[in-house]
A and B are shown apart, each in its own frame.
Chain A
């Protein structure tokens, strides 16, 4: 940068800001149009129940081990941490309540969402991206099949439907993890621990978690499909799409996690 004229330098700077902003709005616009199209095609026939079922099994059933392990250890560590922390002000009795409320409201949906974003979002982006660069998506169109209806709608629906079920299972496993540590390691009475778990749990704790889960499922599938569908330029393009799908889904999950919490619990 040896531009001597300060006016030119300033204009260059403005042009840079403008380019970045335009590129940003361009992306947001494309994504919004894509989302609107995808939702429209989710709601209008023809539907493809076979592909929907396949995606539901892929997202729901095959993610069970990952989500189960994640929530099990999270529940265990939560019991351990809150016990040592609460011991400082003699509130160890709150461990069971803390475990169940943290699991259902926060950790269940967020951890399951992040794990599934890595597992499912990545594979969706890679699969659809490969279909794009090998012209399989063009081939769908020439066979009178709308790629939005055949490829994208089933994935979005499966994501939004299956994540809540996964999270429900994850919540239970997480609470069970806390119970294991609480009773075998921290010396709680089992009946007492279970009673404490139920006592302060409200319906809204679980419901808000499931609403989050459904939103996250939609986001994961949307990011996977969008990045795959718009990928360009061979293997490298598909790799980029996969990375973008996971990163953008993870960030959006955390953002929407805050927004939904605000919506449900802010007074």
Chain B
């Protein structure tokens, strides 16, 4: 039987990513307490929030690395909570992710890191995959001489760039950035921010980032949401974040020690 069904094309009104009432607790500790947000195709959303507020858990829940206790996560209108095996792989193919510590495979040279998804995921031959990797490295401002180095030979900023090249290598529709500027000096942080904006725009991808670096958030976000105690307590355009009228957001974006937010001791 020949399948005549065309590839599924979501109508433009369907959000790329839609979270409804997502809950996750580890033992007694509630990390996500009913998170809901819609992200439109091509939009760049940044979630801000203090350390230990569940930002990473949010990203990992969407990727399926962590299974939420309840709630719904739609990607292109398709439910993804509980997907496993091949179906999960198909969904994951739409994603690219830049990890906080870059998470490069230290047993592989830089080019194999960048081409990993192409070789293992899509079965591309090593020769063409290497060319593609060099091309992606150029996109993040790294020359071909970097291709044969190992990740441990690179500085933190360079590792982030390689991580970015790997995240965009198989041209994902959605890219996640987990604290892209953490641990970098301000100049390198700005370089990474510029690269993120450039790469996301070139791909026309939808981006979801988490950070506590306000300079970075302002630069890469169309829309900013603040996560506090497992809930999104404020969402608004990036331009409004500094006069949101929300005391929690005010305290966070101005970095004040006193205010309604108190620091949690335990992770």
Contacts and interface: CB of A to CB of B under 8 A. Distances in A.
Do A and B interact with each other, yes or no?
A: yes
Interface of A: 48, 127, 131, 134-136, 138-146, 150
B121 A144 contact: yes
B99 A135 contact: yes
A136 B104 contact: yes
A150 B119 CA distance: 13
Given A142-B65, A143-B116, A143-B120, 20 more contacts: A131-B105, A134-B101, A134-B103, A135-B101, A135-B103, A136-B104, A136-B105, A138-B65, A138-B99, A138-B103, A139-B104, A142-B95, A142-B97, A143-B92, A144-B89, A144-B92, A144-B117, A145-B116, A145-B121, A150-B120
Given A138-B60, A138-B65, A139-B99, A144 B104 contact: no
Contacts of A143: 92, 116-117, 120-121, 166
Contacts of A138: 60, 63, 65, 99, 103
A228 to B, nearest CB: 14
B120 A135 contact: no
A139 B92 contact: no
B89 A139 contact: no
Contacts of B95: 142
Given A136-B104, A138-B65, A144 B99 contact: no
B103 A139 contact: yes
Contacts of B103: 134-136, 138-139
B96 interface: yes
Contacts of A139: 97, 99, 103-105
B10 to A, nearest CB: 21
Contacts of A127: 107
A131 B106 CA distance: 9
B116 A142 contact: no
Contacts of B96: 142
A142 B103 CA distance: 11
Interface residues of B, number: 23
Contacts of A141: 63-65, 92
26 contacts: A127-B107, A131-B105, A134-B103, A135-B101, A136-B103, A136-B106, A138-B60, A138-B65, A138-B103, A139-B99, A139-B103, A139-B104, A140-B105, A141-B65, A141-B92, A142-B65, A142-B92, A142-B95, A142-B96, A143-B92, A143-B116, A143-B121, A143-B166, A144-B92, A145-B121, A146-B89
Interface of B: 60, 63-65, 89, 92-93, 95-97, 99-101, 103-107, 116-117, 120-121, 166
B101 A145 contact: no
A150 B107 CA distance: 13
A134 B95 CA distance: 20
A75 to B, nearest CB: 36
Contacts of A144: 89, 92-93, 117, 120-121
B151 to A, nearest CB: 10
A127 B105 CA distance: 11
Nearest to A48: B120
Nearest to A133: B101
Nearest to A149: B120
Most buried by A among B60, B99, B100, B103: B103
A139 B164 CA distance: 12
Nearest to A141: B65
Nearest to A130: B106
Contacts of A136: 103-106
Most buried by B among A127, A134, A139: A139
A73 to B, nearest CB: 34
A48 B120 CA distance: 9
Contacts of B117: 143-145
A202 to B, nearest CB: 44
Contacts of B60: 138
A134 B99 CA distance: 9
Nearest to B267: A233
Contacts of A142: 63, 65, 92, 95-97
A135 to B, nearest CB: 4
Contacts of B105: 131, 136, 139-140
A225 to B, nearest CB: 15
A190 B110 CA distance: 57
Nearest to A150: B120
Contacts of B166: 143
